Structure 1
Amino acid sequence: MSATDPLRDRLEVADLLTRLTHWLDDPEAGDGGAIYAEDAVVRSPRGRFEGLAAIRELVTAPRPGGELTQHFTSDVLAESEGDTASLTAHTVTVFFHAGRAPHRTVGLRFAATAARTPDGWRIARAEITPQWFSPAPA
């Protein structure tokens, strides 16, 4: 397949989300450089993060009380045109402490734009929007 094969591009773009959720659940498993562009921008409920260094800090920051996450992603839609692509999905994130039942769950919508770089596809812009919480915030 060529580097501009639409099916291959779609698979590679969708794979970015899989790599991202694995990294979010295990921040020591990588550094995000195979996921995000160097100048990427992420908007999430936790704020706006500009650049790979800021995104790395966000993902690897110690979590309150050693909290862990597990992400379940569905409805992934990746569409590419030339050297840009869009990526959307729904994610359910479960928050828990090791060996204990989850204490919080959040349903999220993930929307991103990816760009083809010399090193492959990378997320250039991402927006994470909460859809629901369980339990509901006070």
Structure 2
Amino acid sequence: MLIQKACRQDYKWIYQLYCASFPLAERKPFSRICRNCRNGRMEMWVIKENTAFLGFFVCAVYEEMVLIDYFAVIPSKRGKGVGGDALKLLSEVYPDYSIFLEIEPENEKAQNALQRVRRKNFYLRCGFQETGIKW
């Protein structure tokens, strides 16, 4: 498995997974993400196995910090170690950077309560730490 900077040919796959993985209310216009990548404000990475598309990252990089703005793995590869391996590869791309992300707070009344717990536990297993910052 590898991650590499996304090129135009990857955008179709990224866009499809982006729309399938994130609710409309959480999505920025994809054209803005692409423009920010062209302008150097963001970076888009694809996760691949040989030539097969497995997922993507959209990151904002500033000084020694990397915000993972979006991260998704294709449904057939979820729960099979692809996400954790991809995060390790991303940390190798940015070895001297602090990598962080946002997740929804746990809320047992939320429609996706179990998903929120699973997502948080996944990131904790991957070495992320809670900041205590809540919105």
Q: Which has the higher contact order (CA 8 A, sep 6+)?
A: 1
Q: Which has the higher strand share?
A: 1
- Using the size of structure 1 for normalisation, the TM-score is 0.30
Q: Which has the higher helix share?
A: 2
Larger Rg: 1
